[in-house]
Structure 1
Amino acid sequence: MENQKNDNLNLLEAVVQNTEMGKNTLEQILPMTNDVQFKAELLRQRNIYHQLNQEAHTAIEACGGSAQGQSTMAKLNTKMGIGLKTLTDKSTRNLAEMLTQGSGMGVVDCVKSCKDYPNAAPGAKRLAQRLQDFEEDNRIQLERFL
């Protein structure tokens, strides 16, 4: 039972970190684009990241835990990486390419987390699967802007 609780908390924490990465990245990139269709897609994604993040936080609290979220260093690394990659090119194509790669990494992180925490409860696994499906859909949606 303790093993399941730990796997639950760890899998849900992975969802929190993944969704925070998505939300924070989109918050940084949104002001860089004037492409109306692209901006609408990014806003849609940001809202769903927020929703999934809230669900993970609620589930962690229901398990008696508290979410840690992304470390300050991880946030800083991401912010600097985006800053460098957009220093000379803020085109829709470049932004979409960066986000496509990020969503691909998000899918991989979800797969790894589900394998790392096999004893997580079905609800935690479903939330992680929803996030994985969402990340995959994001990648496909963003390919339109490449």
Structure 2
Amino acid sequence: MENQKNDNLNMLEAIVQNTEMGKNTLDQLVPMAEDEQFKAELLRQRNIYRQLNQEAHAAIDACGGSAQGQSAMAKLNTKVSIGMKTITDKSTRNLAEMLTQGSGMGVVDCIKSQKDYPDAAPGSKRLMQKLQDFEEDNRLKLEQYL
């Protein structure tokens, strides 16, 4: 029972961290996007990251846990990395490439979490699968802008 609770909270925390990374990255990149269709896609993705993040937070609260989210260092590292990659190139292609790579890493993180936390609750597993499917869909949608 204890293992199930730990796996469940760990999986939900992984969802919180993944969705925060997506939200924070898009918060930084949306203002750089000039192509209106591309910008609309980024806003759509950001809204879904927010929605999934809220679902994970609600589930953690329901389990009596508290979400840690991304560390301040992880947030800063991401912000600096994005800043460096966009300092000379804010083209749609460059932004799409960065986001495609990020979604690919998100998919890998989802798969690892599913293997690392096999005793998580079915609802948490469904939410993780929903996130993984969303990340894969993002990657495919963004590829058209490469």
Structure 2 length normalisation: TM-score? 0.99
| Structure 1 residue runs of 4 or more that deviate by more than 4 Å after TM superposition | none
- Alignment of 1:65 onto 2:65: yes
Q: Shift of residue 33 of structure 1? A: 1.2
**Identity between Structure 1 and Structure 2 (%):** 82
Structure 1 length normalisation: TM-score? 0.99
Partner of 1:133, secondary structure, is helix
**Matched residue, 2:14:** 14
Paired letter, 1:115: K
Distance 1:35 1:27 in 2: 16
Distance 1:80 1:33 in 2: 18
The number of equivalent residue pairs is: 146
Distance 2:23 2:33 in 1: 16
Distance 1:39 1:33 in 2: 6
Offset from partner CA, 1:91-136 (integer Å, 9 cap, x none): 0000000000000000000000110000001000000000000000
Q: Give matches, 1:30-49, under 5 Å.
A: 30-49=30-49
Q: Give matches, 1:58-97, under 5 Å.
A: 58-97=58-97
**Matched residue, 1:110:** 110
**Matched residue, 1:51:** 51
Paired letter, 2:106: G
Q: For the aligned residues, what is the CA RMSD? A: 0.3
Q: Shift of residue 34 of structure 1? A: 1.4
